[in-house]
Amino acid sequence: MIQSMTGFGTKEAAIANLSKMRMELRSTNHKFLEVVFHMPEVLISLEDKIKKEIEAKIKRGRLTCVITFMGGETSSVFINKVLLKNYISTLKNIKKQFQLRDEISINTLVHLPGVLSLGENKINKMGVWPRLKILVNQTVNDLLKMRQKEGRALFVFLKKRAELLKAELNMIKIRFKKVIKEKLAKLPTNEERVSFLKETDIAEETERLTFHVRNFQNKLLKSGPLGKELDFIAQEMQREANTMAAKSFDTIISSRAVQIKSQIEKIREQVQNIE
């Protein structure tokens, strides 16, 4: 069954000396698989490991992976005392040199560049990894559930569009046999009939379009990443529909050809979201 490239997954877990770790995965459509990370600096060295776990289950889409620490003593305030002393000494010299009366406030000092900083407490990264790996897979599975749910909705939509295309094509075939027979009967010479058929015969286009629609329906029943293949088939459908519309001499057929083109446009828009 097809699945969408859009979705969201999130899970939480207790890890090491942390109260909780939360992971979020947001997925949108993309030609290839791209993973963007936003996580604490202390976990950056595990990025490749996390990416491999994601790649094992997801093949296409742009994924934003957000990992945050929740509670626990994950960071502490670091005071750069040497730098602070230099700031105070420099400010006192400025005050004396320019005869300034303003006092040096604590508020001024803490906002000076480099005085205060946050430092992550040390975490045993390799010790964290086994639990983090489980969290990653749980979050990916949560995301996949939503992508599969969206995929089921896309399947219903695309199946209906394909059925409408088949119905329109059958009516066009019936109409074309009728009007072409009537038109050819009115032409006096074989030369005129051959010339007319060369410019207006859409039998080949309708047969090709019928084949593409049937192929599209069959592919919908397959599993795995099918988005690119379905998009290619939809492009072929669109090409045949454009040619058919351009060659048509009958207003009713032309009107139905416009409906077919509209349905194909809707199909192409939606297959962009399929993995």
Architecture of domain 151-271: Up-down Bundle (1.20)
Q: What is the pLDDT of residue 76?
A: 61
* Separation of alpha carbons 151 and 138, rounded Å: 20
* Mean pLDDT, range 107-135, rounded to an integer: 76
- The CATH code of the domain at 7-73+124-146 is 3.30.230
Query: Token pair for residue 254?
Result: 């032309």
DSSP symbol at 31: S
Residues 49-92: pLDDT tens digits?
999 999 999 999 999 999 998 765 545 666 888 888 888 999 88
pLDDT(123) > 80: no
Nearest CA to 43 out of 114, 118, 133 is that of 133
Q: Would you list the domain boundaries of the chain? A: 7-73+124-146, 75-119, 151-271
pLDDT(122) > 70: no
Give the pTM: 0.74
